[in-house]
A and B are shown apart, each in its own frame.
Chain A
């Protein structure tokens, strides 16, 4: 698939096709007029993302984009235009279309339906109607009534309740989509990549739900505007800030609290939102650590700060500035031993976006984004100092056009450039005044370019397609040193690349096609074919994702990952779209997958490259997903079931034999329900079940110097016990009429106190030489039953 740099013809061809299609659309768009505008929420001025705008007479329409913009181009005439968004009152308006018109809508919350607590906001029959599959939208406000551990609702935990998305269990914010690893998910916050979405070794995610408006998960049929990852996109939109009035909201919890303020800077023109969350279990413990204690100074905390400004400059221009800062800090002191350590990790992002309307049909979003993830450990023991750090920084610029030439087409095209700076594990160490030779501080650099074109095309009443093509290019450039070493790490030679000198270039085409065919009775059949490249990789030693995992670029040793996914599904809605059901089947092949070689150990970069310890193979996953959702009514919620297989094969691992991936799950069930007991009282229930994780256990033991050591069996050939758990929550909402609203949320995590396996180890006791040795397998579980209460307020 890859060719040399000189072979840029393919790029030119794509640009040509893009250009031609624009002309064609333009030509066919004559004698037609356009109605376009923005849809916003009346009470706070927030953009309505994904609201449906359609022409009643034609039964055709569009949905608003991420910035609330819509545009419909149809023949001259009189029409009825309908704006609908679940949880909001429909707007119907007669329009006479004899010229291009601009209509902005403020939609009002529908009092009755909000009280029914919809879980997911979307167009009534979006499920069966769109040429989009394997995609789920979550409205964050609506999931807040679900039970959560420590009362802290978490988006990443919530999406793990959807079919096809598997949780790695407690203590792991990583999620697995259709057999893909945690690094194969593209997590975006207002367009900026979040490289590590977890706090406290995965018990919490970095997303403070008070600052988040909308979450979209794409697990298959990825549109061409997204790329760079094999498995999924989690596109998270922060709230814009209230345009109408000042508002404060927050929550007090047992171990963490949060506060959000938002309001207009200039009414209806500019607004801001700021949100801060802090986890303070360690702070709370501080007063109880005696001043004379040798552990004085030991603490753990994390925080998240989100801020966003947005300014409507004119009818055609709007600017957004989003910032996120988050950090985990862990300090450990043992002054008696002269030992001190601090570990910190966190993300910093800033994203500046400018929306510009060229005309009624052409919308442009320009983004400039900075994102950084950094991990650092410092250790001190007497006169020794050791520091280890790693991370990744991106400078990212994007142009995304949205062109709506007619009601039958929704064209998107754009270009994206990212400059990556990788810092794989670097160490510095010294003893007193002597600096140890830990090698140069190594940084890797790469250019990452993509262009794309896609069209949502209503071919006829029955058939609608999304066709897209993405071309991506990745170039690893110097300065770079390639160390070629023997298996035991002694150097053979070193190749040095100067600044900007190409190390390796990869490029490829990524076609994306999804088709929908409507059947009678509110049902449809969909199918998709997608191919994706992934040029950056997360190397993970452990069986859980840790902040120590390092991101590495494709290089002369590491070929980009490449996946092909086929999916097909049947979608049907019942009873006025009250029930949505779907069955999807998928098959995915992943090439150039990465694992560490057997027996590889975490290393620094002294005279070595981290990718020298990688080994490569392939993976494949297939399965089926069932989803039944009751969208409204006193009881609403969903049931999801996934049956799947995920396998891997690596020449150098497991003697070249096929082995199950560690996140291979045969069965995965989620049941999620909300019951509106009264207008102010909501009961939430979750039950989850997952086949036990695969792991490698020792097959036999032997004795060296009187110590028992293990010889491991086939990779991932053992299964832990199944994971299952039930959670309950009761939300008591404050009176709606009052200005100061407060909610109490009582929740119980793991109601029946299931001891779910977290890990297994073997304890050996006694002396092997006098026959008193005993070996016992032990299973460690994290959370038993945990009740919690939190109080949220808003005024």
Chain B
């Protein structure tokens, strides 16, 4: 749903005459909070990245970022039957063959993953691998703080169909369209990713990747998605066609059903990243489902499809 964003862009456009300058701001010394970025999918191990927030203007370099990782934390994931402790692994200790999977799961490009090196908590014990319909609780003890959260892997709702259509005025570019038949239960939420074969190194969330059935509970309807981008794209992009797919692209679509608290996190996250700098919005607080910290612990009910973009 792109509606909010469009309204905001246009309100900003109303501000016809304006100018801006760089300013220095003294922000008070802040408390550093724990930040969880964790996910679990069917058939895959849980992954948890644990970092600490930093002062807004504290220096950004490789060292400080590496220092943001919290090491030696005690991390447990339970599915109600098994309570398994995760172990800390840094990506430079892993064979290259596993890296694309990890890049997908933590949502950074493969290049960034290789050059930067992430540390995360996981377990290769199949007893704690994700299963559809189960609820997973996370508990973390780091330094003297406790963080907890729970998430479910909902039964995935499949997409009815996908197709590609040229955008009017273009002959080779257009959106990816879909038809969804939303189940009658209120509050079903979704997240959608795409990967263009041979172009993208991982699944990239669509621009506006999450939506729930607030407007269309129980309905069958058509809509389209805007193609997403790597968080830090290298090279110039052409804004005109930035959100389109191209005829001939082979698109792998990862369509996930997620629970409401998980949805609320990504929805507020996407609004916050979009709203940065918008004077008409209140400070966009990102809703977390982590008790005692920031971030998200989210389960995904996943379906995959492949579409060759031909109009």
Chain A residues with CB under 8 Å of chain B are: 171, 200-201, 281, 300, 330, 332, 335-339, 341, 343, 377, 379, 381-384, 386, 429, 431-432, 434, 436-438, 488-491, 541-544, 546, 596, 598-599, 601-602, 604, 606-607, 696-707, 709-713, 717-718, 721, 755, 758-764, 766-771, 773-784
Contact B223 A431 (CB under 8 A): yes
* Among B19, B109, B261, contact of A780 (Cβ-Cβ < 8 Å): B19
Known contacts A490-B186, A544-B280, A781-B19, then 13 further A-B pairs from the complex at CB < 8 Å, ordered by chain A residue: A281-B16, A379-B7, A437-B216, A546-B11, A599-B286, A702-B53, A704-B107, A706-B109, A762-B276, A763-B277, A769-B112, A777-B22, A779-B23
Known: A201-B15, A599-B287. A758 touches B51 (CB 8 A): no
Contact A700 B32 (CB under 8 A): yes
Is B80 interfacial (CB-CB < 8 Å)?
A: no
Contact B27 A703 (CB under 8 A): no
Task: Mark out the residues of chain B between 1 and 19 whose CB falls within 8 Å of any chain A CB in the assembled complex.
Answer: 2-4, 6-7, 10-11, 13-19
Some 24 contacts from A to B, beta carbons below 8 A apart, are A201-B11, A281-B16, A330-B14, A379-B7, A381-B2, A488-B261, A698-B27, A698-B56, A699-B28, A702-B52, A703-B35, A706-B230, A718-B27, A758-B279, A760-B25, A767-B232, A769-B115, A770-B112, A777-B25, A779-B21, A779-B23, A780-B20, A780-B279, A781-B19
Q: Considering the chains assembled together, what is the distance between the CA atoms of A281 and B17 in angstroms?
A: 12
* Among A338, A490, A711, A780, contact of B18 (Cβ-Cβ < 8 Å): A780
Contact B260 A490 (CB under 8 A): yes
Is B282 interfacial (CB-CB < 8 Å)?
A: yes
Q: Considering the chains assembled together, what is the distance between the CA atoms of A327 and B223 in angstroms?
A: 33
* Among A489, A599, A774, A784, contact of B19 (Cβ-Cβ < 8 Å): A784
CB-CB under 8 A from A336, the residues of chain B are: 168-169
| B226-255 interface code vs A (CB 8 A; 1 in, 0 out) | 000011101000000000000000000000
Is B159 interfacial (CB-CB < 8 Å)?
A: no
Chain A residue, CB-CB nearest to B259: A488
Chain A residue, CB-CB nearest to B272: A709
Contact A776 B18 (CB under 8 A): no
Q: Which stretch (B120-128, B135-143, B263-271, B303-311) binds chain A?
A: B263-271
* Those 6 A-B pairs whose CB atoms lie nearest each other, nearest first: A761-B277, A706-B231, A759-B279, A705-B107, A699-B30, A767-B232
Chain A residue, CB-CB nearest to B233: A767
Contact B6 A434 (CB under 8 A): no
Q: Considering the chains assembled together, what is the distance between the CA atoms of A303 and B18 in angstroms?
A: 24
Contact B19 A767 (CB under 8 A): no
CB-CB under 8 A from A721, the residues of chain B are: 23
Contact A702 B295 (CB under 8 A): yes
Contact A697 B37 (CB under 8 A): no
Contact A705 B260 (CB under 8 A): no
Q: Considering the chains assembled together, what is the distance between the CA atoms of A723 and B159 in angstroms?
A: 54
* Among A434, A606, A782, contact of B214 (Cβ-Cβ < 8 Å): A606
Known: A700-B55, A706-B108. A778 touches B296 (CB 8 A): no
Q: Considering the chains assembled together, what is the distance between the CA atoms of A771 and B59 in angstroms?
A: 10
Contact A598 B285 (CB under 8 A): yes
CB-CB under 8 A from B94, the residues of chain A are: none
Contact A768 B232 (CB under 8 A): yes
Q: Considering the chains assembled together, what is the distance between the CA atoms of A60 and B268 in angstroms?
A: 66
Is B221 interfacial (CB-CB < 8 Å)?
A: yes
CB-CB under 8 A from A596, the residues of chain B are: 282
Is B60 interfacial (CB-CB < 8 Å)?
A: yes
B278–chain A nearest beta-carbon distance, Å: 8
Is B92 interfacial (CB-CB < 8 Å)?
A: no
Q: How many A-B residue pairs have CB under 8 A?
A: 245
Chain B residue, CB-CB nearest to A695: B283
A546–chain B nearest beta-carbon distance, Å: 6
CB-CB under 8 A from A546, the residues of chain B are: 11, 280
Contact B28 A768 (CB under 8 A): no
Contact A707 B23 (CB under 8 A): no
Contact B14 A488 (CB under 8 A): no
* Among A330, A337, A697, A783, contact of B25 (Cβ-Cβ < 8 Å): A697
A669–chain B nearest beta-carbon distance, Å: 23
Contact B23 A704 (CB under 8 A): no
Chain B residues with CB under 8 Å of chain A are: 2-4, 6-7, 10-11, 13-25, 27-28, 30-33, 35, 37, 51-57, 60-62, 65, 68, 106-109, 112, 115-116, 167-169, 186-187, 205, 214-224, 230-232, 234, 260-261, 264, 267-269, 271-273, 276-287, 294-296
Contact A711 B294 (CB under 8 A): yes
Known: A201-B14, A759-B279, A778-B22. A711 touches B232 (CB 8 A): no
CB-CB under 8 A from B52, the residues of chain A are: 702
CB-CB under 8 A from B17, the residues of chain A are: 782-783
- Residue among A341, A437, A488, A705 facing the most chain B CB atoms (10 A cut-off): A705
Contact B21 A778 (CB under 8 A): yes
CB-CB under 8 A from B51, the residues of chain A are: 702-703
Contact B27 A713 (CB under 8 A): yes
Q: Considering the chains assembled together, what is the distance between the CA atoms of A761 and B21 in angstroms?
A: 11
Contact B219 A437 (CB under 8 A): yes
Chain A residue, CB-CB nearest to B221: A434
Chain B residue, CB-CB nearest to A715: B283
Q: Considering the chains assembled together, what is the distance between the CA atoms of A15 and B285 in angstroms?
A: 51
Q: Considering the chains assembled together, what is the distance between the CA atoms of A429 and B4 in angstroms?
A: 13
Contact B295 A171 (CB under 8 A): no
Contact B219 A434 (CB under 8 A): yes
Contact B18 A781 (CB under 8 A): yes
CB-CB under 8 A from A774, the residues of chain B are: 60
Contact A429 B15 (CB under 8 A): no
Contact A488 B280 (CB under 8 A): no
Q: Considering the chains assembled together, what is the distance between the CA atoms of A377 and B280 in angstroms?
A: 16
Q: Considering the chains assembled together, what is the distance between the CA atoms of A773 and B60 in angstroms?
A: 6
Contact B62 A771 (CB under 8 A): yes
A76–chain B nearest beta-carbon distance, Å: 66
Chain A residue, CB-CB nearest to B37: A704
Contact A781 B20 (CB under 8 A): yes
Contact A437 B10 (CB under 8 A): no
Chain A residue, CB-CB nearest to B279: A759
CB-CB under 8 A from A698, the residues of chain B are: 27, 56, 283
CB-CB under 8 A from B28, the residues of chain A are: 699, 713, 717
Chain A residue, CB-CB nearest to B232: A767
CB-CB under 8 A from A784, the residues of chain B are: 19
* Among B15, B16, B221, contact of A431 (Cβ-Cβ < 8 Å): B221
